[in-house]
Amino acid sequence: MKVSILGAGAMGSALTIPYSEKNEVILWGTEFDSEIIEKLLRGEKHPRIDEMVKASKILDHSRLDEALVSDAIVIAVSTEGVIPLFKKILDRIDSKMILTIAKGLIDMGEIMTIPEVMWNERPELKDKICAITGPSIAREVAKKLPTHVVYSSRGDETLKLAKNYLQTDYYRISISKDVIGCEITSALKNVYSIAIAWIGGMESKKGVSMNNLKGIIVTQALREIGMVVEAAGGRKDTVYGLTGIGDVIATFRGGRNGMLGELLGKGYSTQQALEELEKRGVGVVEGYVNAERAYKLAESLDSRGKIDLDDLRLLKSINDVLYHGRYAEEVISYLF
Amino acid sequence: MKVSILGAGAMGSALTIPYSEKNEVILWGTEFDSEIIEKLLRGEKHPRIDEMVKASKILDHSRLDEALVSDAIVIAVSTEGVIPLFKKILDRIDSKMILTIAKGLIDMGEIMTIPEVMWNERPELKDKICAITGPSIAREVAKKLPTHVVYSSRGDETLKLAKNYLQTDYYRISISKDVIGCEITSALKNVYSIAIAWIGGMESKKGVSMNNLKGIIVTQALREIGMVVEAAGGRKDTVYGLTGIGDVIATFRGGRNGMLGELLGKGYSTQQALEELEKRGVGVVEGYVNAERAYKLAESLDSRGKIDLDDLRLLKSINDVLYHGRYAEEVISYLF
């Protein structure tokens, strides 16, 4: 089939490689991707994945229309960009499938997952929407290193189509109907990654290894994610599968969430840590933005009697550190 | 109370530190611990935990009798040593509690966990036997760094006593009645750690990062451990708690199982890897010995219709590599 990827960041661009095994692939860049698109059009490697993309057409942001003719549209922009882009294109798409990759929650007054916002916008597309979760570091996907992800959708046909056309030898796809569970798990994983990284920061500050504490924090993180997922109508199995554990393991040391968490673990205040990351040229930390939303989601589940917020000690601690001036080391001792 | 620790290796010696907060502690060394005991008697630090032990008496192997007078006896020797030592002392103990730490399976014709063998030997002691599992790297326990473990027993009184007397601020104890689940999870974790470490070896051989594959393998390992635990009558929750996930995280990079696995991932045959470890002075690799037993346990659960051995692809692969001349890289591609 014909697949258009909207967003030429690391993940969108990496997916051109497995997707082009069986399909014609079009890559479109947003206005933020202009520099990258120029490089790609000059025949250079993608700077963030260090590989050549594989696309029959590479389009800059002025040529969005040409990308909307495909059988599958993959929205591969940041959490903040997904819904505006979706709204912009929704009257012009007549695809078999719409895929979403961003791992975040949306604040629409009420906190929602990305697919839920899409379902509300265009209920008749519900079965066509498919979310991609699970351990997939973009550079590794681009290098054809073994990857196994989860595609979730309410539509059986969509899942069948996705698996048939998009799976390759090195990019395996498992399918799931637990869209809510997959999306909440992924978004919360980014939030809890901040706390997991505190320990690395504390270790380097104190010059000791604290592996036992890492075991405690990861176990607690997955337990709490499981509670939120179940309370929101998702499945605990999802947390203990590739989407949860798999992704925690794959991203254990890296990413922007980890960088933020490590600075906090070293004793930086959130303000100082965010300034330091800005100095280093690190962009938006999705876990930071999502932490507030995750907490708001938990509060709303608590107020509806579906969960007891007091059981989410780690989430509360993360919130206290990120938004209420507490320090990581202080909340760890309270936590423990 | 009075607590005797039998075995002056890293873990037994480390436990003198939390245990002595509320109790009188006696440390007895086996004949393999003679050098360590001499050092400790000279007032030196324990060489493997780099801390002073805290014991009112430090006894060499000739003075076992003096250690058998306590309220709690902690058997802190290797898997191979536990049952012989237990049999040696069982007519001489009249303790309130017997604790076991080794993370392994025993081949008594049928494969059993250590507590099961003890229960069979002395049914009247069943409620007094308590197994210690969960993330506890000995050096970190000895340094009073945050640790949280699981004590499991069939006896409520035993669990209460253990928690009351042995828990400290930095050494937290959760209690569980799922003795079988805790013990199988711990033993299998050591086995699967070998496969998790393959990837580190493959990464350094190929000069690439394979975090997505790590996510796949850890997820599969925990899934398979869950299947075996449930088939054997334990609880899946145990696998997804401190005893399973917590310990996997805490020991992610280290230990002898990891060293063996990494060499296998680099392309060594098992024979070559074991020789290399011997050259480096590394002692018995418990996961290696346990892999065969874990496989035998799975075969027996399969023959009783409680599990389908074909679902345990990773365990089969580990077995193929360790005992049937296959190479890690080859089975990974089959696995994936």
Q: pLDDT of B111-166, one tens digit each? A: 999 999 999 999 999 999 999 999 999 999 999 999 999 999 999 999 999 999 99
Identify all chain A residues contacting B212, using CB atoms and an 8 Å cutoff: 135-137, 140-141, 145-148, 250
Identify all chain A residues contacting B251, using CB atoms and an 8 Å cutoff: 211
Closest CA to B221 of B194, B197, B180, B192: B192
Does residue B207 register a pLDDT over 90? yes
Q: How many beta-carbon pairs under 8 angstroms link A with B?
A: 139
Residue A194: what pLDDT?
A: 96
Residue B93: what pLDDT?
A: 85
Q: Residue B24: exposed, middle, or buried by beta-carbon count in 10 A (0-12, 13-18, 19+)? A: middle
3-class state of residue A253 by DSSP: coil
pLDDT bin (cut points 50, 70, 90) of residue A333 is confident
Tokens of B98: 């017997």
Does residue B253 register a pLDDT over 80? no
Does residue B217 register a pLDDT over 80? yes
pLDDT, tens digit (0-9, with 9 covering 90-100), for A226-267: 999 999 999 999 999 999 999 999 998 778 999 999 999 999
- Which run of H or of E encompasses B193? helix B179-206
Residue B305: what pLDDT?
A: 97
pTM for the predicted model, two decimal places: 0.97
CA neighbours closer than 13 Å in the CB half-sphere of residue B334: 14
Give the domains, in start order, of chain A with CATH numbers.
Answer: 2-177 (3.40.50.720), 182-335 (1.10.1040.10)
Query: Mean pLDDT across the stretch A87-111?
Result: 93
**Weakest mean pLDDT among B215-229, B281-295, B302-316:** B281-295
Query: Mean pLDDT across the stretch A8-33?
Result: 98
A218 touches chain B (CB under 8 A): yes
User: Which residue among B148, B215, B252 places its CB closest to the CB of A250?
Assistant: B215
Average pLDDT, chain A: 96
Return the C-alpha torsion angle B150, B156, B162, B164, nearest 10.
Answer: 110
Residue A327: what pLDDT?
A: 96
ipTM of the complex model:
0.96
Closest CA to B60 of B87, B39, B84: B39
pLDDT, tens digit (0-9, with 9 covering 90-100), for B132-147: 999 999 999 999 999 9
Dump the DSSP string for A282-305.
Answer: ----HHHHHHHHHHHHHHHHHHTT
Tokens of A26: 């079009």
Does residue A197 register a pLDDT over 90? yes
Residue A172: what pLDDT?
A: 97
Residues ≥6 apart with Cβ < 8 Å to A13: A5, A27, A36, A40, A46, A48, A49, A53, A138, A142
**Weakest mean pLDDT among A81-90, B154-163, B253-262:** B253-262
The winner for highest mean pLDDT among A272-286, B89-103, B174-188 is B174-188
User: Which residue among B145, B211, B251 places its CB closest to the CB of A137?
Assistant: B211
User: Which residue among B145, B211, B240 places its CB closest to the CB of A213?
Assistant: B145
Q: Catalytic annotation on A163?
A: no
Type of residue numbered B258:
G
The Cα–Cα gap between B172 and B141 comes to 10
Identify all chain B residues contacting A140, using CB atoms and an 8 Å cutoff: 208-213
Query: Mean pLDDT across the stretch B2-22?
Result: 98
A242, A249, A252, best to mutate vs chain B, most B CBs in 10 Å: A249
Does residue A96 register a pLDDT over 90? no
Residue B334: what pLDDT?
A: 77
Q: Which of B39, B57, B87, B189 is catalytic?
A: B189
Type of residue numbered A259:
M
∠ CA A268-B247-B285, nearest 5°, is 125
Residue A12: what pLDDT?
A: 98
Identify all chain A residues contacting B135, using CB atoms and an 8 Å cutoff: 211-212, 214-216
To the nearest whole Å, the CA of A93 is away from the closest chain B CA by: 32
**Which residue of A lies nearest to B211 if distances are taken between CA atoms?**
A250
Subunit contact A215:B249, Cβ cutoff 8 A: yes
Residue B255: what pLDDT?
A: 86
Q: Which of A189, A236, A266, A316 is catalytic?
A: A189
Subunit contact B242:A216, Cβ cutoff 8 A: yes
pLDDT bin (cut points 50, 70, 90) of residue A283 is confident
Residue B284: what pLDDT?
A: 84
Percent residues over pLDDT 70 in chain A: 100
pLDDT, tens digit (0-9, with 9 covering 90-100), for B299-311: 999 999 999 999 9
Identify all chain B residues contacting A246, using CB atoms and an 8 Å cutoff: 215-216, 218-219
Subunit contact A241:B250, Cβ cutoff 8 A: no
